[in-house]
């Protein structure tokens, strides 16, 4: 099984990217976890550019999602919402609408912010957009507030409560991906 991680923060030292690194360590040996770090290269969505072949970074994004059994998103909150570049990436990934690589894809959303609330509004908006796109959004939530206190100077997660919550979401995501694989195998049989 392959799981893709996508961080909504582009910056070096991002707490959200660090959260994905921590999540990556919680998957079992049978899961390959890959952090997708080309979001910055994805151009602004323009329907005139949404043609075949797609812009290179868009094709890479779509291929990365298509090749994964599940996607784990970690998002910061920018002005009570999802960072524009992440939403932009989702807009590209949502097309063509009938065959979107996110359709029926098991996805989970976690998030971190420097404030107290752990990007809960951004997470809610991201889940809403992903549901609209047709992804299977798993239930779990991890809201990492006061993010600078939860990681050490090397960016490693040091909060064991958060790690437990992360483990639950990771398990729910793997369960959803396993269920989808089993359903696909039944249809093929
Ligand atoms: C443009 C911008 C808007 C922000 N708006 C919010 C916000 O609405 N709520 C919040 O809790 N934090 C907000 N923040 C602070 C982010 O939570 C903080 O920068 C966080 O560390 C970003 O995540 P990262 O460490 O993964 O880059 C904002 C930061 C930026 C740069």
Q: Rounded to two decimals, what is the model's pTM?
A: 0.97
pLDDT at 178: 97
Dist. CA 102–CA 184, nearest whole Å? 16
Q: With cut-offs at 50, 70 and 90, classify the pLDDT of residue 151.
A: very high
Evaluate: CB of 14 within 6 angstroms of ligand 1.
yes
Closest Cα partner for 168 from 26, 8, 6? 26
pLDDT at 189: 72
Residue 118, token pair as written in the block: 């752990």
Q: How far is the CA of 76 from the centre of ligand 1 (A)?
A: 6
**Which tens digit of pLDDT belongs to each residue from 102-121?**
999 999 999 999 999 999 99
**Residue 98 scores a pLDDT above 80:** yes
Evaluate: CB of 150 within 6 angstroms of ligand 1.
no
Dist. CA 137–CA 40, nearest whole Å? 24
- Name, in order, each residue with C-beta under 8 angstroms of 77's C-beta and a sequence gap of 6 or more: 111, 113, 115, 117, 119, 120, 121, 122, 123
């Amino acid at each position: 099984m392959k799981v893709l991680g996508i961080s909504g923060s582009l910056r070096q030292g991002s707490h959200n990217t660090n959260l994905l690194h921590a999540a990556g360590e919680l998957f079992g040996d049978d899961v390959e976890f890959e952090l997708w770090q080309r979001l910055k290269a994805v151009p602004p969505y323009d329907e005139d550019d949404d043609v075949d072949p797609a812009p290179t970074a868009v094709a890479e994004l779509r291929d990365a999602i298509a090749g994964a059994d599940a996607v784990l998103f970690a998002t910061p909150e920018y002005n009570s919402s999802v960072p524009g570049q992440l939403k932009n990436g989702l807009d590209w990934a949502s097309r063509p609408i009938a065959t979107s690589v996110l359709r029926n894809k098991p996805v989970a959303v976690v998030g971190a912010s420097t404030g107290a609330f752990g990007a809960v509004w951004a997470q809610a908006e991201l889940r809403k957009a992903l549901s609209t796109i047709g992804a299977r959004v798993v239930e779990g939530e991890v809201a990492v507030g006061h993010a600078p206190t939860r990681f050490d100077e090397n960016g490693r997660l040091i909060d064991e409560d958060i790690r437990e919550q992360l483990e639950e979401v990771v398990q729910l995501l793997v369960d959803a991906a396993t269920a989808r694989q089993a359903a696909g195998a039944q249809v093929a049989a």
